[in-house]
Each structure stands twice: as C-alpha cells, then as structure tokens.
C-alpha cells in the first residue's frame, strides 16, 4: 500500500523535473512551415518513420500510428489523398497530418511519382491537394530547419565559427521572409527561391552544434528590423553596394574592401569564347564595341570603370549570356578569341563566404565576421525583438 502510493509520486516528480528541463527549450522554439518538393508536382510518395513515432490524422481524426521504420504511401485520388500501409487501406482525406510524438522524431520522404531522392526531416508533415498535386509541408522547429539549410548551402569541413555565421544568416532570412508563400499556404519553399533545404543536417556534426550555440540569435539593422542577409561565394576583393546591383540602397549592404578572400578558390577566373560569338552578341544587344570593356587587370576593382558599364546594365547581361562567375571582369581582345579575366563568384553584395571562412580560420568570432560584412548591425535574441522595438 505504502509502495503503491510512492510509485506514482516518484513518476510525477520525474515528469515535473523533465518538464522543467524542457521548458526553456520549447518556449524558445519557433515553428516554421516549409513547402517540400515545391516545384516537383508530386502525385505519389512514401513516408517512413525513421526515428521515434508519428500519429497520422485524416481530416483531423486520428487514423493510425507508425513506429520505427514503418511506412505509408500517399497518393493523389481526385481531390483527396489516399493513404495506405503494407497491410491497411486507411481511406482518402482532404488533409493528412503526421505528427512526431517527440522533438527528435524524424521521417524519410521519397517521391515515387515523380521519382525523388530520399530525404530525412524532423518533426511534422502536412499533406493536401494543391493545384493537382500533393502539397507537402514540413512543420519544423526553426532551429532544426536552420541546420538543414546551413548544410545544403555551405557543405562539409568548414570552420565552426563559419557555421555559426551561416546559422545566424539563415535564421534571420527565414524570419524576415516568412510571408513569401502565404498564398500557397506555407511560409518558405525548399529551393533557391527561398533557401535550399533538403532535410535535416546529418553529414556534418559541427552544424547542429553551431545552430544550438547561436540559438535564437538574429541580425537587425539600426532600426531594429531583421536584415536581408545577402551573401555570395567570393566578392573578388571588394564587396558591392546593394544599389549598384539591385538599384535599391540598403543601409547595411555597403561596399568594402575585403582582403580575406583573395586566396579563395573562386578569387580569380578566366573564360575564353570565340570572337564570332562576341560579334554576334554585340550586334544582337547593340552593345558597345569590345574596346569599351578592355582594360588592365587593375581596372577590375576600379568602381568608376564598372559604374560606367553598369549604367547600361551591360555587365549583368554579358555575365548572363556567357555564364560568367561574376560581373567583375575586363575583356582581352585576342586574334580569334575574346578572353574574360575576372574576380569573384556571385553578386558580391553582403557577406563573402570564402572571406568569412578565412576570417574564421584566423580566429575572428562570428560577431566580428558579421560586423565586418554588414554595416551598422546588431545581433539580438529573437525573443527580445519586440522588447527592443517598443523601446
């Protein structure tokens, strides 16, 4: 009798302690809705519980549960989604939801029609019919999402401090742009249009650590607004003003000399095309003659040179036409060929990734790196954003 009373009491205490330990984690966590395979028109897909368990709901009613490595198949059936497992046919519903039973639950997705690569995700999944296909939305803790984005956009074996930089950029971007897909019924897509996200971070152990150690930190400008944290692969030695590339001035996206990226893999490049291709282009675009773009290599970094050409948008259209790494280039006129001699990779606005990696290797911390590339910014905790705004 005595023991019988003690047992539940201990359980209750343990539950309470677990609750207290988890409380800060959950109260800090923000959830984000990401459209998966957003441009692939999925008609049939398999979903497999990878870690933990999931409850499946059809139009809000619990229909089943799946545990470790159990799977279901979802298939479009006129305006509904039919769900079946190996042994059961669960019927068809307008909205199907899989809710992970713990924070660490993960599931795998693999498109059957069309075929897609298998990818693993955290937390929850919502399926419904949208524009004749299955719309898949990952309802995911923002920190889990950030880890996936950092892995997709940076790759392996980078310095820890650089992963922290990218975590803060990706978190800030997600929160500043969460209305982008409001019309479709989710917040961000999983492609370059928003941020590339191919499921959770699983190949680089430092990434989840970097996400946790910067949990909730975002970048704001001098008006305490979340910034558009633009970045590119290598600026070529000098970042660009936002207004010179996108025609709108932005207080924190200012040109600055960057000596950290000069040894980066994409610091310099050349590309050769035939003279006849150039002549064809010149006629089609009514572009200035070749001589206008010619110059010494030192002119690449000379802003008056690029300003002259920018007014006509010529550099951007040449870059697009000949698939060049950047718009920082001069052209050498050789007998039968035209040689582009250039620097950098990408638009060059905001943070320069190869420069930031080198700064991290030289033991600058994430705050110093972000403050180097973004002018007049502050790092704050997301939870205090409203507090600072009200003051």
Residue 346 binds Zn ion (CB under 5 A): no
Residue 261 binds Zn ion (CB under 5 A): yes
| Shortest CB 107 distance to Zn ion, Å | 22
Stretch binding Zn ion (CB under 5 A), from 52-60, 188-196, 221-229, 325-333:
188-196
Among residues 66 and 352, whose Cβ is nearest to Zn ion? 352
Among residues 66 and 136, whose Cβ is nearest to Zn ion? 136
| Shortest CB 89 distance to Zn ion, Å | 35
Binding footprint of Zn ion, residue count (CB under 5 A): 8
In the 3-class helix/strand/coil scheme, how is 242-260 assigned residue by residue? HHHHHCCCCCCCCCCECCC
Phi and psi of 148, rounded to 5°? -65, -40
Residue 320 binds Zn ion (CB under 5 A): no
Strands 188-189 and 351-352, by their bridges, are unpaired
Among residues 97 and 258, whose Cβ is nearest to Zn ion? 258
Question: Given phi > 0 = left and psi -120 to 50 = alpha, else beta, which region is 165?
Answer: alpha
Question: Which residues, numbered 191-220, are part of the site for Zn ion (CB under 5 A)?
Answer: 193-194
Are the C-beta atoms of 60 and 95 separated by less than 8 Å?
yes
Q: How far apart, in Å, are the Cα atoms of 281 and each of 109, 276, 290, 308, 319?
A: 45, 9, 11, 19, 12
The encoded tokens of residue 134 equal 């299955």
| Shortest CB 328 distance to Zn ion, Å | 11
Among residues 350 and 355, whose Cβ is nearest to Zn ion? 355
Stretch binding Zn ion (CB under 5 A), from 167-175, 181-189, 195-203, 326-334:
181-189
The span from the CA of 345 to the CA of 333, in Å, is: 22
> What is the 8-class DSSP label of residue 29?
-
Q: Is the peptide bond before 343 cis (omega within 30 degrees of 0)?
A: no
| Shortest CB 136 distance to Zn ion, Å | 14
Among residues 164 and 358, whose Cβ is nearest to Zn ion? 358
The span from the CA of 358 to the CA of 377, in Å, is: 21
| Shortest CB 239 distance to Zn ion, Å | 6
The span from the CA of 273 to the CA of 339, in Å, is: 6
Which of 210, 235, 315, 377 touches Zn ion by CB under 5 A? 235
The span from the CA of 145 to the CA of 149, in Å, is: 6
Among residues 147 and 350, whose Cβ is nearest to Zn ion? 350
Stretch binding Zn ion (CB under 5 A), from 61-69, 159-167, 189-197, 249-257:
189-197
Name the H helices within 202-286.
206-213, 242-246, 275-285
Tokens 């997705």, located at residue: 109
Are the C-beta atoms of 269 and 342 separated by less than 8 Å?
yes
Stretch binding Zn ion (CB under 5 A), from 108-116, 128-136, 207-215, 259-267:
259-267
Among residues 127 and 189, whose Cβ is nearest to Zn ion? 189
Which of 143, 151, 161, 258 touches Zn ion by CB under 5 A? 258
Among residues 314 and 354, whose Cβ is nearest to Zn ion? 354
Binding site for Zn ion (CB under 5 A): 189, 193-194, 235, 258, 261, 352, 355
């Amino acid at each position: 009798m005595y023991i019988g009373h003690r047992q539940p009491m201990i359980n209750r205490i343990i539950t309470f302690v677990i609750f207290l330990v988890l409380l800060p984690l959950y109260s800090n966590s923000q959830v984000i809705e990401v459209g998966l395979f957003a441009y692939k028109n999925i008609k049939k897909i398999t979903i497999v519980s990878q870690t933990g368990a999931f409850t499946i709901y059809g139009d809000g009613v619990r229909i089943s549960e799946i545990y470790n490595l159990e799977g279901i198949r979802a298939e479009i059936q006129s305006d509904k989604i039919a769900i079946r497992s190996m042994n059961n046919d669960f019927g068809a519903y307008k909205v199907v939801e899989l809710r992970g039973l713990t924070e660490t639950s993960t599931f795998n997705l693999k498109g059957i029609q069309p075929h897609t690569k298998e990818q693993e995700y955290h937390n929850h999944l919502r399926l419904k019919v949208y524009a004749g296909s299955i719309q898949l939305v990952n309802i995911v803790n923002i920190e889990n999402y950030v880890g996936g984005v950092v892995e997709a956009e940076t790759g392996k074996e980078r310095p820890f401090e650089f992963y922290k930089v990218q975590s803060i950029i990706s978190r800030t971007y997600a929160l500043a742009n969460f209305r982008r897909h409001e019309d479709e019924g989710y917040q961000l897509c999983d492609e370059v249009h928003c941020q590339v996200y191919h499921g959770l971070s699983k190949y680089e152990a430092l990434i989840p650590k970097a996400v946790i150690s910067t949990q909730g930190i975002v970048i704001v400008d001098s008006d305490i607004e979340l910034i558009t944290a633009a970045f590119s692969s290598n600026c070529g030695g000098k970042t660009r003003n936002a207004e010179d590339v996108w025609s709108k001035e932005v207080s924190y996206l200012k040109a600055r000399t960057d000596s950290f990226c000069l040894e980066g893999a994409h610091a310099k490049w050349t590309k050769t095309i035939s003279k006849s291709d150039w002549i064809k282009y010149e006629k089609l675009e009514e572009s200035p003659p070749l001589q206008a773009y010619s110059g010494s290599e030192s002119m690449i970094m000379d802003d008056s040179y690029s300003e002259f050409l920018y007014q006509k948008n010529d550099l951007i259209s040449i870059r697009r036409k000949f698939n060049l790494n950047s718009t920082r280039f001069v052209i050498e006129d050789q007998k039968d060929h035209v040689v582009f001699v250039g620097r950098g990779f990408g638009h060059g606005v905001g943070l320069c990734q190869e420069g930031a990696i080198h700064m991290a290797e030289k033991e600058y911390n994430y705050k110093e790196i972000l403050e180097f590339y973004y002018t007049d910014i502050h790092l704050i905790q997301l939870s205090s954003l409203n507090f600072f705004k009200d003051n």
